[in-house]
Chain A
């Protein structure tokens, strides 16, 4: 006969396990675990890490400059500032091309980060808001959490970064779709056809925007042969009604055209999207001519959404009617089919960020 019944055994086991963690003990345990987890993080590139080598280089340059001057270098002084900046004629129309001259700064080849480096950027104040390229694999959640997609046009938390230790939540953004395809979004200010960017799971070059708790997946990036960056004139252009997930990193000059009187579009209404109507923002190549009044319908290059210049150009200038100063950089764009109202040729393009 057992000296203890099942009921008494259970009572003793319950007594032994009766103690509960206090709130403080609970938090301490979780905090200790979080601390140890953080110790395992791999090396990451932070801007602060670049300060010592840059400082050393500057000091070296200051020390060497008098010596170089004494040898007659440089042979001739270059004009300061962007020589590609436009000048303005008395009529207010830009007259000089925003073309690159030999002294115009060439954008650096964008850095491609690893999955772990991308993960480590999440929540880092130095990186939040920036758009970066990374070579990563993405896992697609089988069952997205309820309310994973914020509407309208909010990001969807439906994927995760593979092969990383640490933060890995991937929000997936929206892209333009051809008219009649995808979702018609009417936010009382404009109307657009959109669909979610496809989750491209395989290892490949992809673009992301860094956020506080996640990265926003912008899409796959198409390389230009062995290079990453495309000149404006060589960016592949699909059919006028085609929209795509594919992103291109394009070296070009971004500007806003002059502001001119335009007739209202035929189907103008309170919810008409005027992103591509009557001028706006264009990404043009170094050989493009100066914008003219007639260019409000098509300047050439890549016609991007109207707000692109103010959103993405470095140090954008104000448009007081005569257009803005062109800004050269490497911008990320994708083909956006024909939006409901477009002045000029289709397809138009959607700019999603700038690569620094």
Chain B
């Protein structure tokens, strides 16, 4: 990570921020999409996260923490979009079709179950099972003890199992 670039962006350099955002926007979108499951919503969340990051960058005390800080902002933005989505009609991209995954659980069943989980649990499962972040890394990112991360992962996994069982029929 370019610490100097973060410092410049934190001091208000829009060009530096554009450089940081340009390198991370795909990862932000991927996280938002994994949480929300809908490209249009994921784009909204990514955009909200970018703006939120720009506005609150001065509050970032340690430039080395930019990456986890940005991930938290992205998850928060996804949470806000998910919250809005509950009170309006769910819209799907007409061209977006979930791909099939070989296994016991169909794509539509998994998605229905996964989207019953709180956003924080979705984000945690994504970070750990898809992005491959270790318990130790997540503990640093979330600023919580490793034991708490393990506990939260266990809780999230159990919640997903229950949701899958409920959507079996």
Q: How many residues of A contact B (CB 8 A)?
A: 47
Give 9 closest A-B pairs by Cβ, nearest first.
Answer: A17-B34, A8-B103, A13-B130, A165-B12, A33-B50, A168-B13, A12-B110, A17-B30, A11-B101
Q: Which residues of B contact A (CB under 8 A)?
A: 3-4, 7-8, 11-18, 21-22, 25-26, 29-31, 33-34, 37, 39, 42-43, 46-47, 50-51, 54, 96, 98-99, 101-105, 107, 110-111, 114, 125-126, 129-130, 157, 160-161, 164-165, 168
Contact present for B157 and A166 (CB under 8 Å): no
Bound CA–CA A256/B99 (angstroms): 79
Contact present for A213 and B15 (CB under 8 Å): yes
B94 to chain A, nearest CB (A): 14
Contact present for A17 and B33 (CB under 8 Å): yes
Contact present for B164 and A3 (CB under 8 Å): yes
Using Cβ atoms and an 8 Å threshold, which residues of chain B touch A18?
Answer: 99
Interface flag for A14 (CB, 8 Å): yes
Total A-B contacts with CB atoms under 8 angstroms apart: 141
B153 to chain A, nearest CB (A): 11
Contact present for A33 and B105 (CB under 8 Å): no
Q: Which residue of B lies closest to A3 (CB)?
A: B164
Q: Which residue of B lies closest to A148 (CB)?
A: B4
Using Cβ atoms and an 8 Å threshold, which residues of chain A touch B102?
Answer: 11
B1 to chain A, nearest CB (A): 12
Bound CA–CA A17/B34 (angstroms): 5
Contacts A3-B164, A33-B54, A141-B4 hold; do A14 and B11 have CB atoms under 8 A apart?
Answer: no
Bound CA–CA A14/B165 (angstroms): 21
Contact of B21 among A5, A19, A30 (CB under 8 A): A30
A300 to chain B, nearest CB (A): 45
Contact present for B47 and A142 (CB under 8 Å): no
Contact present for A164 and B11 (CB under 8 Å): yes
Contact present for A9 and B50 (CB under 8 Å): no
Contacts A12-B114, A15-B98, A19-B96 hold; do A168 and B12 have CB atoms under 8 A apart?
Answer: yes
Contact of B3 among A20, A25, A143 (CB under 8 A): A143
Interface flag for A243 (CB, 8 Å): no
Bound CA–CA A139/B26 (angstroms): 31
Q: Which residue of B lies closest to A29 (CB)?
A: B47
Contact present for A4 and B11 (CB under 8 Å): no
Q: Which residue of B lies closest to A11 (CB)?
A: B101
Contact of B103 among A4, A13, A30 (CB under 8 A): A4
Using Cβ atoms and an 8 Å threshold, which residues of chain A touch B30?
Answer: 17
13 A-B residue pairs with CB within 8 Å: A2-B161, A4-B103, A8-B101, A11-B103, A12-B103, A13-B125, A15-B99, A21-B43, A30-B22, A36-B51, A139-B11, A141-B4, A169-B13
Bound CA–CA A38/B51 (angstroms): 11
Interface flag for A236 (CB, 8 Å): no
Contact of B12 among A2, A3, A13, A119 (CB under 8 A): A119
Q: Which of B11, B101, B111 has the most CB of A within 10 A?
A: B11
